[in-house]
Amino acid sequence: MRIATWNVNSVGARLPKLLDWLGKAEPDVLCVQELKCAADAFPLDEVGELGYEVAAHGTGRWNGVAVLSRVGIDEVRRGLLDEPGFQADGAMFETQEPRAIGATCGGVRVWSVYVPNGREVGHPHYAYKLRWLDALRTTAIEELAADRPFAVLGDFNIAPTDADVWDIAAFEGSTHVTEDERKALAAIAETGLAEVYPRALKYDVPFTYWDYRQLRFPNNQGMRIDLVYGNERFTGAVGDSYVDREARKGKGTSDHTPVVVDLDL
């Protein structure tokens, strides 16, 4: 079974790229992040022609996650256990953002997650990010009670180590690399999950994200923030994992690229 994750940075803008990649890579399951569309606006017919069912969780212009599967979709769950909300500027109340969806596909339980960015250290969105990660940890504990392959895949907006960014000095005082974020990520792993570290096809570090600005991609000035964490039944079945850097090339691409995991179940 081939399972992948990809922050497409707008499924509407990236639909031709998405369809092309699905046709070439042929994943059995794809976890998608940053849909930037409502769930009922997801292009079901287009991906359906390639044999995929879809479970989507989105509300409009921002955020949004989905699971695409050609091996069935069952037990769909939208939102984390005790998931916190965020009160945007000018809003009267906190609202839950569509950032997590779980589904069982071909006997494998997956969660597609789009962790909050955090914006700036000290910003309310940063505190929200840490609360959200704690809710992901709680959800992982609940999921681990079941005896089946299980993985959390997606855009974590955290570089696990200093080596996972092109120049740690360039990130001094910024989100994505802070001690508190990394502690929250480690706490999720400590529930009984281990990271599936992908091999790099060209460079030493398998970066998954490159900013559109300042020629970051041609200069390979990236970050490794799209991650896969699985339980023992999942990681023990991994035959290969890699970052598909080719999907980031050309015009009209996402600023992220897919991470692919091949399982021998």
Which residues are part of the catalytic machinery?
Answer: 114, 155, 256
Does residue 63 have a known ligand-binding role?
no
Does residue 7 have a known ligand-binding role?
yes
Does residue 34 have a known ligand-binding role?
yes
Tokens of 177: 């690399």
Query: Do 255 and 209 contact (CB within 8 A), yes or no?
Result: yes
Does residue 147 have a known ligand-binding role?
no
Does residue 167 have a known ligand-binding role?
no
Torsion of CA 236, 196, 131, 115, to 10 degrees: -130
Phi first, then psi: give them for residue 232, nearest 5 degrees.
-65, -35
Does residue 255 have a known ligand-binding role?
yes
Q: Please list the alpha-helical segments (H only) found in the chain.
A: 15-25, 44-48, 124-144, 179-189, 232-235
- Report CA torsion sign: 32, 34, 37, 38: positive
Annotated binding site for Mg(2+): 7, 34, 155, 157, 255-256
Binding residues: 7, 34, 155, 157, 255-256
